[in-house]
Amino acid sequence: MEVLSKFLVVTLNSITSKCMVLLVIVLVLRALLLPSFPGFDGIEWSNLVHIRTPLLNSDFGIRQDKFLAVPQLVWGLNNQKIAFARACLTARMLNRTLLMPSLSASLFYKELDLLQPISFDKVFQFEKFNALCRGFVQLGRYSDVLNRTQVLEMEKGSGRRWSVERDLSQLKEHSKGSLDDYEVIQIVGKNPFLWHDHWPVKDYAKVFGCLDLTEVIAKEADRVVSRIRAIGKEIIGNTEAAEQENGSFQLLPYVAVHMRIEIDWMIHCKKLERRLNTNQICSGKKEIVERVRNIAGLKSPVVVYLAVADKLLNNSFILEGWGEGFLPLEKKKLGVDGVYDKYPYLIQSAIDYEVCLRADTFVGNSFSTFSSLIVLERTQKMIRMSVSNMSGENVRWPSYAYNIRGTTNGPMRWVTNMSESSLQAISYGTNHLSC
């Protein structure tokens, strides 16, 4: 190292080059000297450094002898993820450990007894969550609670009179004095998803960044992604695209499109368009196909994975009309419908989410919470990779909204604005995208 640096210092004599060399040396030394954590590879390590959470600083922690309990989380995967993050951030505000909540494996939101509770750690890794989020938020198990008789119920109000301010003052009240003495605070009330939002987007992003699927589910997602890339390889064969990727199908790019064209969505979005006086919410199949085909700089032939929520949707219908150079795939055509059928709704959805997250290009609807959360996590990924201009051309992990027309008649480029002060700005749909 010393010989190398002397050589370089002699060769490069401008001050800037010296600084550059020093920087490189520091980076190399850092990479060499950092301890290797089990389960953390180099990329994840740099991620941790970049998001600047006080992750490894256990002094500035969360109390582990006071707990918050919340009702079962319900509705779709994205609603449950948001409710979970909200529960975590509420617990953080109260400086309490969140008792691992129950999620819901099924989507029957009208009949509570059909909601099939499923433990958080059946879907996401519990220990890893705590390791990644250490010092920021903390999850605990019900067996950690010493005295189950010391439970204080905190009733969440609802309706118009339950304002953001009231909600906030309730939380403040419960974080001091005799109320704070209770070992467990139990939130009661109907839909935790409807709690008011007091937290900036970047806090939500931190919580989402600590959620890793359990190994079993992650393996299923790997299987789906490998199938997509393998089919891509078969079809694309020995064309230029494959050669550029050095023949390794692991690297064959794919586009994931979250297609929302089910009938109940169409009814909902038409209403929304009328209410908001816009025509940029609903896109039919034809428009989606056309916009995806017009993505600037997208190399074809290319494989397009269609993430479709509704099983009843006619497969041949969504697979038709993509035209030359675009190979549309859905679960049945990929031969992975068996993988999905083994699991309840929540896990199927989590696998689909992962497949979209890992796609080289993602195209979704900016009024869909599912799409919005994927774009939020992809934006985090770009931030961690220090992409300087996330709206630039040829960046890795680009995302688009097909419901809004961008340049060259393609979909609009889409990144999440991490400076927004509330998740509301991104989770209930928007046509103001930051790109």
Judged by the rule CB under 6 A, the positions of this chain that interact with ligand NAG are 60, 62-63, 92, 95, 147, 149-150, 246-248, 314, 316-317, 389, 391-393, 417, 419-421, 434
Cβ atoms < 10 Å from Cβ of 120? 21
Q: How far is the C-alpha of 291 from the C-alpha of 285, rounded, in Å?
A: 10
Residue 319 CB, shortest distance to ligand NAG, in Å, is 9
Q: Please enumerate in sequence order all residues whose Cβ is within 8 A of that of 110, keeping only pairs 6 or more positions apart, or say none.
A: none
Q: Which is nearer to ligand NAG, 79 or 90 (CB)?
A: 90
And the tokens for 191?
A: 């839909």
Shortest reach from residue 311's CB to ligand NAG, in Å:
12
Q: CB of 20: closest distance to ligand NAG in angstroms?
A: 22
Tell me the C-alpha distance between 359 and 399, whole Å. Answer: 9
Q: Whose Cβ is closer to ligand NAG: residue 123's or residue 383's?
A: 383
Of 95 and 191, nearer to ligand NAG (C-beta) is 95
Quick one: 344 or 392, whose CB is closer to ligand NAG? 392
Please state the closest distance from residue 371 (CB atom) to ligand NAG, in A.
18
* Closer Cβ to ligand NAG, 141 or 285, answer by number: 285
Distance (Å, whole) CA 70 – CA 191: 10
Nearer to ligand NAG, 157 or 321 (CB): 321
Q: What angle do CA 427, 213, 423 make, to 5 degrees?
A: 15
Which tokens in the block code for residue 134?
């250490």
Q: Residue 330 Cβ, how far from ligand NAG at the closest point, in Å?
A: 13
Left, alpha or beta for 61 (phi > 0: left; psi -120 to 50: alpha)?
A: beta
Cα–Cα distance list, 185 to 86, 87, 206, 313, 367 (Å) = 15, 12, 24, 44, 35
Residue 96 Cβ vs ligand NAG, minimum distance, rounded to whole Å? 9
β pairing state of 302-308 and 97-99: unpaired
Helices (H) and strands (E) in the chain, counts: 18, 13
Smallest gap from residue 11 Cβ to ligand NAG (A): 30
Q: Min. distance of Cβ 135 from ligand NAG in angstroms? A: 8
What's the CA gap between 153 and 336, in Å, rounded? 45
> Is the CB of 151 or the CB of 194 nearer to ligand NAG?
151
Cβ closer to ligand NAG: 49 or 152?
152
> Residue 10 carries which side chain, given as an amino acid letter?
V
Distance CA 63, CA 67 (A): 8
Task: Write out the H or E segment, with its range, that includes residue 348.
Answer: helix 345-357
Q: How far is the CB of 38 from ligand NAG (least distance, A)?
A: 24
Distance CA 237, CA 245 (A): 12
Nearest of 51, 73, 356, 386 to residue 207 by alpha carbon: 51
Other C-beta atoms within 10 Å of 286: how many?
9
Give the Cα separation of 279 and 175 in Å (integer): 46
Is the Cβ of residue 115 or residue 412 nearer to ligand NAG in the bound state? 412
Tabulate helix, strand, coil % of the chain (nearest 5): 45, 15, 40
Nearer to ligand NAG, 54 or 344 (CB): 54
Q: How far is the CB of 95 from ligand NAG (least distance, A)?
A: 4
